[in-house]
Amino acid sequence: MSDLQDTARRLLDEGTVQVVIGWEASRLGARPVFVTSADDCDKLIFDTRCVHNLATFLNPRRVQVAALGKAAVVVKGCDAKAVAGLLREAQFERDAVVTIGVRCGGVVSEPSGLEPPELTSANVAARCPGCDVREPASVDFLVGEAQPEPPVTTSLNERIGELDALSPAERFAFWTGELSRCTQCYACRQACPLCYCERCIVEKSQPQWIETSPHPRGNFAWHLTRAQHLAGRCVGCGECERACPVGIPLGLINRKLQQVVHELYGYTVTDDPAVPAPIGAYATDDTQDFIK
Amino acid sequence: MTDLSTFEPRVTAFVCNWCTYTGADLAGTSRLHMASNVRIVRLPCTGRIDHLFIVKAFERGADGVIVSGCHPADCHYTAGNYHARRRFGVFRELLTFMGIDPQRLTFSWVSASEGRKWQDVVNETVDRVRRLGPFDSYHGLAGAATAADDPFAAIEATAASSDAPEHRGAS
C-alpha cells in the first residue's frame, strides 16, 4: 500500500471527498482515473508515466466532474501551480478541493508501456529538467519518496536561444511552417487547466476576431491570442503541446513568455495562490524602454 | 507583391481619447506637416486596446501600427495606461519571438499638448515602415489577397479616380 493509496482511501472513507482524481496504469502507460469508492484506491499510481495535469478537471465548468462531488486531486509540482492559478483567479474556494501532492523526479514526454520507464535524457519531458517544484509546498498532503533530479536534455531554454538568434524573417518562416499545420481543433485549449473561459474569444463571431479557417493567418491570430492570454499564467505543464495532434511546439512559446515576464517584471509562476499574476497587476515604475 | 517604387506604408494608430487623440488634433490645428499614411482609431484608453487590434490591423493590410496614450500618472482612468504598458511589454516580445519585426510597432506616450511629439511619432514610424517595406509576408498568410481582405484598396482606388480635391480644407 502506498502513501498515495492510503491517503486517498482515508479521505473517501471519512467522507471528506467523494472522488479522488488520480492516475491509473493502462495499456497506454497511464491515464486519469476518477476513484469514487475506497475499494478502488489500489488503482492509484504515481510514476514517470503520470504526465497528465489533472488540475484541468477542477474547472468548475466541467459539470460531469463537478457532479461527482467534492474532489481530491493528485498533483505534481507543475499541476499544483495550476491549482494555485485557479485559486488565484477565484475559480473555486481553497477548501472546495483537497490536494494530494506527490514528490516528482520528472515524467516522460509521452506515456507508454506497462511498466514505468526509467527516465533518460531521450524520453524525459522537455519541461522537467530544471524544475523548481519537485515537492509542491501548498498542498494538503505530500506523499511519496524523495525523487532524484530529472536527467538533463536539450532544454526548452536552449531551443528558445537558437530561435532568438535567428533574424525576424527566419523566425517568421519557422513559425509559419509550424502553424501552417494547425487545424484549429483547440485541443491545446481543452487540455489547458487555465484556459477555462465559459466562452472563448475564438468562438465569438460578431465580430469575428480570430479567423477560424485553418490558414496560417488565422492560426497566427489564434496562437498569439492563446499565448498572450496565458502570459504570466501558464504553469508550463506541457499539456497543450502533448494534446496537439500536429506537433506544434507550443511549449517553446509558453516558456518564452515565462522568460519574458520574469525579465520584465521579475515574476515566476508559483504554487502560492497569494502571489498576484503579473498581467492585471502593475507597478508605476515598470520598464518602458520600448515606449517612445 | 507591392510595387516598391510606389509603396506608401499604411499605418494604423490606436490612440487614447484623452491624450494622444487630442494631441493629434492639436498637431492638425497647428498645421504641422506630417506623413498622411496614418489612420487613427480613437479608443477610450490604452487599457482598452486589445492585442487583437494589432493582429487585426496587420491582417487587414497595415504595414505598421502605432499604439499611443497618456503618459504614466496621467491616465483619465487612473491606471489604464499602466495595465496597457504591462500587456504590450509582453505582447511586443511575443510578436518578436514569432518573427514579426518589432520595428513595425511604435508605442508612445503623447499628451494633449504634445502635437509636435505626435508629428515626430508619425513621421518616424512612417519612415521606418517605409524602409522595412510592405508587410506582404503577413498579409499573404491566407493566400493571395482578395478585395475583401483589403478594405483600404477600394477606398484608395475611389479616391484616386474621383475628382475630389486632394486636400479638403480645415473646417
ipTM: 0.92
Once rounded to an integer, what is the mean pLDDT over residues A99-109? 94
In a domain, B171, yes or no: no
For the cut 90, the answer to whether the pLDDT of residue A58 exceeds it is yes
Query: Which residues of chain B have a CB within 8 Å of the CB of A214?
Result: none
In a domain, B166, yes or no: no
Query: Which residues of chain A have a CB within 8 Å of the CB of B142?
Result: 211, 213, 215-218
Angstrom distance (rounded) from CA B79 to CA A120:
49
Considering only the beta carbons, identify the residue of B52, B96, B109 that sits closest to A291. B109
Q: Per the CB < 8 Å rule, is A172 touching B142? A: no
Q: Per the CB < 8 Å rule, is B99 touching A257? A: no
For the cut 80, the answer to whether the pLDDT of residue B162 exceeds it is no
**pLDDT range class, residue A79, cuts 50, 70, 90:** very high
* Secondary structure, 3-state, A177-205: HHHCCCCCCCHHHHHCCCCCCCCCHHHCC
Q: Per the CB < 8 Å rule, is B97 touching A163? A: yes
In a domain, B169, yes or no: no
Considering only the beta carbons, identify the residue of B52, B107, B142 that sits closest to A292. B107
Q: Per the CB < 8 Å rule, is A292 touching B97? A: no
Percent of chain B with pLDDT over 70: 82
Considering only the beta carbons, identify the residue of B72, B79, B94 that sits closest to A228. B94
In a domain, B170, yes or no: no
Considering only the beta carbons, identify the residue of B51, B92, B143 that sits closest to A290. B92
Whether the CA torsion B137, B142, B147, B151 is positive or negative: it is: negative
Q: Per the CB < 8 Å rule, is A168 touching B96? A: yes
Q: What is the pLDDT of residue B154?
A: 59
Q: What is the pLDDT of residue A113?
A: 83
Q: Which residues of B touch A (CB under 8 A)?
A: 51-52, 55-56, 59, 72-73, 79, 82-83, 85-102, 106-109, 121, 124, 137-138, 141-143
Q: Could you tell me the three cell numbers for A110? A: 509521452
Query: Which residues of chain A have a CB within 8 Å of the CB of B60?
Result: none
Angstrom distance (rounded) from CA B27 to CA A192:
47
Helical pair B80-97 and A250-265, crossing angle rounded to 10 deg: 140
Probe site for chain A from B85, B95, B103 (most A CB atoms < 10 A): B85
The structural domain count of chain B equals: 1
Q: Per the CB < 8 Å rule, is A292 touching B85? A: no
Query: Nearest C-alpha of chain B: how many angstroms from A224?
Result: 8
Which of helix, strand or coil describes residue A77? Answer: helix
Query: Nearest C-alpha of chain A: how many angstroms from B117?
Result: 10
What does the mean pLDDT of chain B come to?
Answer: 88
Q: Output the CA–CA distances (angstroms, integers) from residue B67 to B105, B110, B134, in the order listed.
A: 8, 10, 19
A175 interfacial to chain B (CB closer than 8 Å)? yes
Considering only the beta carbons, identify the residue of A216, A284, A292 that sits closest to B82. A284
What does the mean pLDDT of chain A come to?
Answer: 93
Query: Which residues of chain A have a CB within 8 Å of the CB of B55?
Result: 220-221, 224-225
Q: What is the pLDDT of residue A80?
A: 96
Q: What is the pLDDT of residue B169?
A: 45
In a domain, B1, yes or no: no
**pLDDT range class, residue B170, cuts 50, 70, 90:** very low
Considering only the beta carbons, identify the residue of B83, B101, B121 that sits closest to A282. B83
Query: Which residues of chain A have a CB within 8 Å of the CB of B100?
Result: 168, 172
In a domain, B167, yes or no: no
Considering only the beta carbons, identify the residue of A169, A287, A290 that sits closest to B99. A169
Selected residues 98-157 of chain A with any CB under 8 Å from a CB in chain B? none
Q: Could you tell me the three cell numbers for A171? A: 523566425
**pLDDT range class, residue A156, cuts 50, 70, 90:** confident
For A229-255, the pLDDT digits (tens) are: 999 999 999 999 999 999 999 999 999
Angstrom distance (rounded) from CA B119 to CA B148:
32
Specify the CATH number for the domain of residue B145.
3.40.50
Q: Per the CB < 8 Å rule, is B95 touching A163? A: no
Q: What is the DSSP letter of B143?
A: S
In a domain, B156, yes or no: yes
For the cut 90, the answer to whether the pLDDT of residue B65 exceeds it is yes
Q: Pairing between strand A19-26 and A29-35? A: antiparallel
For the cut 90, the answer to whether the pLDDT of residue B38 exceeds it is yes
Query: Which residues of chain B have a CB within 8 Å of the CB of A284?
Result: 72-73, 82
B144 Cβ partners below 8 Å, 6+ apart?
none
Q: Per the CB < 8 Å rule, is A225 touching B95? A: no
Quote the domain boundaries for residue B45: 7-161
